[in-house]
Structure 1
Amino acid sequence: MQADFRYLRRMLEETHPGLYRYTPRPVMQAKLDSIDRSLNKPLPFYTFFKTVASLMADIRCAHTHALPGKNWREQFNHTLKTIPFFMFPSQNRAYVLLNGITDQTIKPGFELLSINGQPMEAIRQQVSRYYWTDGYIESAKMATLKGELFALFYYWFIDRPDTFALTFRSPTGDTLRVETPAKPFQTSLQLMKQNPVNKQMVAWYVTKNSKHPWRLYFPDTLASTAYLRLDGFGSKGVNSNEEAVRVFRQFMDKSMAKIQKKQAKNMIVDVRANTGGWDSQGIELLTYLLKADTAVAYYARQHSVTDDADAEFMKFSDLSEADRKNIKNELIPEPDGTFTLKQGSDTRAPKRYVPKPNRFRGQVYILMDGASASTASEFLAVAHANRVGVFVGEESGGAYEGGNGSSFINLELPKSGIQVSTPLVYYNNAVPELKQKGRGTMPDYFVPLTISNVLNHTAPHVTFVKELIRKQNK
């Protein structure tokens, strides 16, 4: 444990650009020293894993995390015995979405009150402690109460029981108690699909047809409105930034032509649950929505804390050999020891992006939530700063001022096999400085997704925007 921790510490201190972003250096160093001193006796594996995971969470970076091993997914599916219910979070509570046992008493919409005598509020606080998120964003941490992630986090960070004693509350207020064996996820999933109480939820949320991650359509219920849905910023088979830009621009140009033909005056851009991808596609999207004719910056600055391509930990990065050889040509040394990334020129000046001639010039409504992260959260922040539209939903899952990302180190701690992933680049979005650092982009209209919406397959964000559009058209 001492060897693994010291190895990890060196990697963080030598390569992580955001190690002190939210925690002053003296405080973080004191924390690291304290952890080192605490590793003075043998501990169970998951106790040590919790120590590593809590440190990674304390860096407050959505791209910094630890996993217990290389084959964690295979273990979860077939070996680890976890809670056989798929939960859904709403307003800091956890509700059943899918029942993974044969008993039909517990139905979708029942609230989970306790597990093995421990109240859910205490469990929520514990699991959220270990989740990786930018700054102080709480909306993203709700993911720890959802589905597979909740099952995993309970197993990793709370307990690994053979049997679960569960207390539920029905929608009518009745309290029910169920005792059930823990099961591997694949076993639970099969029962979820078979249990009749889940029939409608399975039809809506499990049995899905494959579809393109980007879709444009024109709602029948709303005149003069285009709906652009972006599941992520990526595309199958894309392996370079240039290709990412090309395919996205192709899609957007076709979409703009269709929108112009339909003479749509409103556009809904939906990036809910969009967890990111190619930064360049987020930038491209912005240029199709900008209001003014002037070019704008997207990143005020990006920087690294090392330019040494031959450093010990760089061999674990996702940079190609050619990219590593070119590192010094892409970085400008600064007096504080950091290195500014060039943005398309040999100066420190931020790159500016020209609005597209065929951009949409009508009213834009942007749908967002706590799972709008990484590239999606950067797009939301810069779009918000440039007032491209009306923002509806929940606080985004990435910090308004920017996160850390671009390229990553993926490292296995040699003794324990714990897998850690960390970024190499610190981002400053081209946005005004907020009074409260470490929060996401805030919506103009807060519209949460409730358990009632999920059980009835309704979209409150879309309903809300439709009403805004109707009022605007009166």
Structure 2
Amino acid sequence: MPGLKPVGCSAGKVFVVKPYVYLLLCLLASNQLAAQFLKGYNPNRKLSVKDLRADFRLMRAALEELHPSLYWYTPRDSMNAAFNQTLASLNQPLTEQEFINRLYPLICRIRCGHTQLEHSEDYKSAGNRPRLVHLPFDVFVRKGRAWVVANTSTDSTLAIGSELLSINGVPIAEIIRTGLNTWNGDGYNQTWKEFFLNEYDVFEDVCWWVYRWPGPYTLSVLTPNGTRRTLTVAAKPKPEEPKKTDEPARKLTDEEEKALAREKEEAHKRSYLNLRLLNDSLTAVLTVNALEYNDEEYYREAFRTLTRKGVRHLILDIRRNHGGDVRIINNLLSYLADTSYVFLQRVIAKVPNPGKNRFKDQFDSDLTRSYFATFGPSRRIGQWYYFDFRKEVGRITGYQRVARHDRFRGNLYVLIDGGTFSNGANFAAALRVARPRTVFIGRETGGTELGCGGGTNQKLTLPNSNIVLQFPWMRLVTPSRNPVDGHGVMPDFPVEYTPDAIAHREDLDLEKALSLIKRETSLR
């Protein structure tokens, strides 16, 4: 590199250094090189056409060899045409972000919500990477339309509930279509993608990462009173950096460390698991936003409480539940099923052993080890290979036993939405079969009722860009009866939110459940 002299040479004179000194100098030099490299990483660097196409061909080969659902929703000839079209479009150098933007519409053709793209680790850790510019308003997206539900700009005339018609001259429908092609979803439903546009600010991401709008923003809106108007609002100011204190933090004792760890664990559990009894004492709400390993004791105590309190109506909230551990799902189902039940009907793959493939150097080795620790040998039935979980994991597929004590036998109402995804949606699908009288309220689940990619979700690092492609090696199939393939679990009582309800943080799903309970109670 310019400015660096070879170790052991000075002004043309050669001198001898002792071995241990030479080793030390080499280590120092390598650390300096690494530091300079990281400091000098340029997220705007252009990847050559040769490197882009090499990464693309590797990605395509891995997907064609291993992805269990590559042609599940998109026919092979259509998928191949999309591959070829995308390859042909890689005809000029691109930045990492531009490469991801180019690949995502193709990835979305697979219609698998577990198949996503991630930036390289260098990009994520680069201090000089472009920073997201926040919009000075929040939006609510539904069925190709968007409304303002919060105004944080300096222009107070931007009314809450205004429908956005365009931003900077681009029709809002076009922006939403672009957003739907920057995040993959299961099957044909849009609720998972809309969930991300709303809950995880993907709409805002699109405005910056795709359209590169730093602000100000010229908005065409339809106000709540039906008036069309145009206004310009500024971007949010950058938040101030927190002031650093010069005072060193006091070192915690061992007991304080343990107490803090327990407090953090309990706070984490409270963030996704919560049981509360309502005022009538006959109704309870159990919120389950995740299904994490080692939660058996919580469910044991929760259902013991329901039994002891004589609860007749249970509202189970699995909105925003993106899935989790299959053992915990079986445990929760055991307290709710009418009789012996099936959570997963089968686990399948397109190859006999996904862990043995020609891309092992690009795959995450920890995830590969996890695959071998979780699944046993396969057996071929027709075009698919069927897998069982290893004995150490437990019996997951096939019929399961119900809980011996404290099984809930009252009225069950389940709240679902586009965030009910992966094993969260698989749980809902299995529950509908295991307890047919369950009432589902809300919106179509983001995960499909028939099942999803899963088992092992691997990460393939593309060697030139270092972009990471995440995709499943296997497919999980639920016991659903007559599902509409490509769509999620449908609610018995659909609930559509209004912009006003979003702005005022109303829980219309819970209100609907309580109204059904009130009606059922009045009929007794």
Name the TM-score, length of structure 1 as normaliser: 0.83
1:333-391 superposed Cα distances (whole Å, 9 cap, x missing partner):
41656432114679x99432111122101110001111111121111111112315100
From 450, 453, 456, give the equivalent of 1:407. Answer: 456
Is residue 2:167 matched to residue 1:115?
A: yes
The equivalent residue for 2:398 is 351
Aligned with 2:132 (options 80, 105, 116): 80
Q: How far apart are the structure 1 equivalents of 2:492 and 2:378?
A: 38
Q: State the SS of the aligned residue for 2:451.
A: coil
Counterpart for residue 454 of structure 1 = 502
Q: Is 2:425 the partner of 1:377?
A: yes
Name structure 2 gaps, 5 residues minimum. 1-51, 243-266
Q: For 1:372 and 1:300, how far apart are their aligned partners in 2?
A: 20
Q: What SS does structure 2 have at the residue aligned with 1:299?
A: coil
* 1:150 and 2:203 matched: yes
| Range with bigger deviation, 363-372 or 152-161 | 152-161
What amino acid is the match of 2:291?
F
Contact 1:80 1:183 in 2 (8 A): no
- 3-state SS, counterpart of residue 201 of structure 2: helix
CA distance in 2, matches of 1:367, 1:34: 41
| 1:232 aligned onto 2:290 | yes
Aligned equivalent of 1:342, options 364, 371, 388: 388
Query: Which residue of structure 1 aligns with residue 230 of structure 2?
Result: 177
TM-superposed deviation, 1:48: 3.2
1:434-453 matches, cutoff 5 A: 434=483, 436-453=484-501
Structure 1 pair 420–349 and aligned structure 2 pair: CA distance change class (3 A): closer
Matched residue SS, 1:251 = helix
Select the structure of larger CA radius of gyration.
2
The change in CA–CA distance for 1:376 and 1:323 in structure 2 (over 3 A counts) is closer
Mark the runs of 5 or more structure 1 residues left unpaired by the alignment.
191-208, 235-243
Conserved in 1, the CA contact under 8 Å of 2:367 and 2:456?
A: no
Residue 37 of structure 1 corresponds to which residue in structure 2?
Answer: 88
Q: Which residue of 2 aligns with 1:237?
A: none
- What are the Cα deviations for residues 94-140 of structure 1, in whole angstroms up to 9, with x where unaligned? 22333343333325433322101122122212221332110001222
| Corresponding residue number in structure 2 for 1:201 | none
Q: Matches of 1:36 and 1:298 in 2, distance apart?
A: 40
| Aligned-residue offset at 1:271 | 0.7
Cα displacement (A) at 1:455: 2.5
- The one-letter code sitting in structure 2 at the alignment partner of 1:397 is G
The separation in 1 between residues aligned to 2:368 and 2:466, in whole angstroms, is 25
Matched residues in 2 for 1:398 and 1:448: separation? 18
The corresponding residue for 1:467 is 515
Matches for 1:27-426 after TM superposition, within 5 Å = 27-43=78-94, 46-70=97-121, 71=123, 79-90=131-142, 92-146=144-198, 148-182=201-235, 187=239, 211-220=270-279, 222-234=280-292, 244=293, 247-292=294-339, 295-306=340-351, 307=353, 309-314=355-360, 316-317=363-364, 319=366, 322-323=369-370, 330-334=376-380, 338-343=384-389, 350-357=397-404, 358-386=406-434, 387=436, 389-426=438-475
> Which amino acid in 2 is paired with 1:119?
P
Q: Counterpart of 1:251 in structure 2: which amino acid?
A: Y
Q: In the alignment, which residue of structure 2 is the partner of 1:200?
A: none
In 1: Cα distance, 2:106 partner to 2:91 partner: 17
Q: Shift of residue 421 of structure 1?
A: 1.0
Cα displacement (A) at 1:289: 0.7
Distance 1:31 1:457, change over 3 A: closer
For 1:335 and 1:104, the matched residues in 2 are separated by 64
Distance 1:344 1:415 in 2: 36
Q: Which amino acid aligns with 2:333?
A: L
- Equivalent residue letter for 1:227: V
**Cα distance change of structure 1 residues 91 and 44 upon mapping to structure 2, 3 Å threshold:** same
Distance 1:411 1:82, change over 3 A: farther
For 1:320 and 1:67, how far apart are their aligned partners in 2? 16
